[in-house]
Structure 1
C-alpha cells in the first residue's frame, strides 16, 4: 500500500542495494540490474551512478560490472560493532544481577 511519503526512485535505489548484495566478487551488469528491477537499462545506469556518488556502489574496473560499495559494508560493520557493545553491556548487567549475595 503506497503512502504519500513513498518515492518511486528512492524505493528503486533501495531495491537495487538488495539486488547487488551477494554479488561483491563478480558484480552485476547494468542490464541485469535493470531486469531485476523491472526498469530500463538507462534507469539502472542512472541509479548506479547515484549510488556510486553516495558510496553505495562501485564499478569493477576489469569487467565494467557493478557491486556494493564500501559504504554499505561500513554501515554493516558499524552495526556489528554496536551489537557487540550492547551484548557486552547486557552480560555485565546479567553478571551483576545473577551473582550470589
Structure 2
C-alpha cells in the first residue's frame, strides 16, 4: 500500500538492491535487473550509477555484471549481533526466574 510520500524511483532502487542479494557472487547484468524491476535501460543505468555513487553496488569491468559491495551485507553482522545480545538477556531473565529461592 503506497503512502502519500512513496516515491517510485526510491522504491525501484530498493527493489534493485533486494534483487541483487540473490547473487552476491556473480552479480547481474543490467538487462537482468531491468527485467526484474520493469524499467527502461536508461533508467537502470541511472539507478545503478546512483547505487555505485552511494557505495552500495559496483560493476565488474570485465563482465559488465553488477554486484553489491560489502557495505550492506556487512550490516547483517550488526543485526545478528543485536539478536544474540537480546537472546542472551532473555536467557539471563529466564535463569533468574527459574532459580530456586533462598
Q: TM-score normalized by structure 1?
A: 0.90
Count of residue pairs brought into register by the alignment: 101
Judged with a 3 Å threshold, the aligned counterparts in structure 2 of structure 1 residues 29 and 100 are, in CA distance, closer, same or farther, namely same
Q: Is the 8 A contact 1:34 1:41 kept in 2?
A: yes
**Alpha-carbon separation, structure 2, partners of 1:97 and 1:37:** 51
List runs of 5+ in structure 2 lacking aligned partners.
none
Q: Is 1:96 the counterpart of 2:93 in the alignment?
A: no
Structure 2 equivalent of residue 3 of structure 1? 3
Secondary structure, aligned partner of 1:47: helix
Q: CA RMSD in A?
A: 1.3
Q: Is the 8 A contact 1:55 1:70 kept in 2?
A: no
**Alpha-carbon separation, structure 2, partners of 1:22 and 1:35:** 14
Deviation sequence 1:6-39 (CA, Å, 0-9, x none): 0001000011011111211111001111111110
Structure with the largest fraction of helix = 1
Task: State the 1:55 CA deviation.
Answer: 2.3
**Alpha-carbon separation, structure 2, partners of 1:56 and 1:79:** 18
**Alpha-carbon separation, structure 1, partners of 2:72 and 2:21:** 9
Higher CA-based Rg:
2
**Alpha-carbon separation, structure 2, partners of 1:68 and 1:93:** 39
